[in-house]
Chain A
Amino acid sequence: MIRIRGLRKVFPPDKLALAGVDLDIAAGEFVMIIGQSGAGKTTLLRCLNRLVEPTAGEVMLNGSQVTGASSEGLRSARRQIGIIFQQFNLVKRASVLENVLAGRLGHVPGLPSLVGRFPRRDRELALATLRVVGLEEFASRRADTLSGGEQQRVAIARALAQEPKVILADEPTASLDPKLTESIMGILQRINVERRLTLVVSQHMLETALTYGTRIVGLREGRVVFDGPPGAITPDVVEDIYEGGVR
């Protein structure tokens, strides 16, 4: 599903974030990316949909190039990749439903969308995804009136509304307390199991990563230092990923 080869990212002037990453992610996997802050987790995720432009290497999604794609090709790739952020990144002054409808922008006719008109099917889909995250009754509320956990659920609904093949999540629970972390990760797990959606999630909490992931990828200094099932994580592996700094 996702094929990553020799992925490098150097932030100017010379900060090496990814030092050559090779990964193959199969459909239906729930991949947890772990590592210290600064290990390259966020950069790796953002290179997959080119919110960050890789310096070298290639990313392929279902056999088509993401890296080096034209702007049209990139938009087509992005349609298939939902993304969830640590800071939710909702448009605060817009309603919950408008935020979720934004997930349909890559699919709906362009001109009518610019005046706020969406086909009935897309509106229903947006409402249906709100139902999946249990926020249907909040549809007409302004996004910034919701709590952090609720905003992240709206962000999940927006990603689902894209009907993506993959969902990326960059530290989706780092701004939330432990109880909400469980709720958000639970929703992601349900999506993974019920919809067979591929998930790639960065997670700084080792416990959480091991509980929910079906595959763990450990990054250190921009390199993959571990790749295997949660059961294969031993104290030595943890030591290696976190360089002794236990998290």
Chain B
Amino acid sequence: MSRGIRRAGLTLAILVVYVWFLAATEVSLPRFLRGLPWMADFLRRMVPPDLSVLRSALTGALQTFQIAVVGTTVAALLALPLGFLSARNVVPASVFYPARALLNLFRSIDTMVYALFFVAAVGLGPFPGILAVVTYTVMTLAKLYSEAIEGIEPGPVEAISATGATRLQVLRFGILPQVLPLFASYVLYRLETNIRAATILGFVGAGGIGFYIQTYLRMINYPAASAVLLVLVAMVMGVDFASSRLRARIV
């Protein structure tokens, strides 16, 4: 009985909070409906795409791709030691807890914020973009790596130690063969998400296709902007397709 009352009270409290959130964020259906014609107008002005900007769109897309690939691969390597240092079954608690805390701290800040920071530090262009991608990806990959390491079978590791192998040999022959395919799959997955993350890096001057999207939108040149968006969609879909095919083969 009292349990039922408590549950009803909790439901009511959640509803009240939710309504407050709706009000605070000015959610309004009429306002959305009034905006519909403007959206339609925006989309109408985007067609036909202005294919004369294809060249700069492709240049931008290539740079975004390069930022994502370089950033992801550098991060994939840097995350290796960090991943092992934050795996519960590899290091003592005195190492594990600080390492995990560090990962969670830096992972809570998004690539975009790092981009602002690095643009201020090293200037405009793709390089601060790469630094931003590396910083965020190292943290996410290290976390994924460490979870893969914690999920390994202990039996084979024990068997390798029992042959008189050194700690490094145990790592190489007992642990790595179990986790490397998972690592590769995570890296490919991060590459897919980093391509998307790297598209908006250009908005803050950190290189890539985002610069062109933002520029054309500001110049109210919607046909050009839509041409760039088309290139972007094609690239993201292409990379997603290739990467997911590869991932399916690895694991």
Contacts and interface: CB of A to CB of B under 8 A. Distances in A.
B120 interface: no
Interface string A71-83: 0000111111111
Contacts of A85: 155, 158-159
Binding site of B, secondary structure by majority: helix, strand, loop or mixed?
A: helix
A90 B162 contact: no
Contact of B156 (A75, A81, A92): A92
Contacts of A80: 164
B154 to A, nearest CB: 9
B166 interface: yes
A89 B156 CA distance: 4
Interface string A18-55: 00000000000000000000000000000001010000
A105 B155 contact: no
Contact of A105 (B156, B160, B181): B160
A114 B172 contact: yes
B161 interface: yes
Nearest to B160: A102
A111 B173 CA distance: 13
A89 B164 contact: no
A78 B161 CA distance: 8
B48 interface: no
A91 B178 contact: yes
A93 interface: yes
A192 to B, nearest CB: 20
Contacts of B155: 85, 87-89
A75 B162 contact: no
B164 to A, nearest CB: 3
Contact of A75 (B164, B168, B178): B164
A158 B169 CA distance: 15
A208 to B, nearest CB: 23
Contacts of B158: 51, 85, 89
Q: Which interface class (under 10, 10 to 19, 20 to 34, 35 or more) fits A?
A: 20 to 34
A113 interface: yes
A144 to B, nearest CB: 11
B173 A102 contact: yes
A51 B162 contact: yes
A83 B168 contact: no
B162 A83 contact: yes
A77 B173 CA distance: 20
A162 B159 CA distance: 12
A101 to B, nearest CB: 8
Interface string B144-183: 0000000001011011111111101100111001100100
B43 to A, nearest CB: 50
Contacts of A106: 163-165
B156 A158 contact: no
A229 interface: no
Contact of A49 (B153, B162, B174): B162
A87 B157 CA distance: 13
Interface of A: 49, 51, 75-83, 85, 87-94, 98, 102-106, 110, 113-114, 155, 158, 162
10 contacts: A51-B158, A51-B162, A78-B161, A80-B164, A81-B162, A83-B162, A91-B174, A93-B177, A113-B172, A155-B159
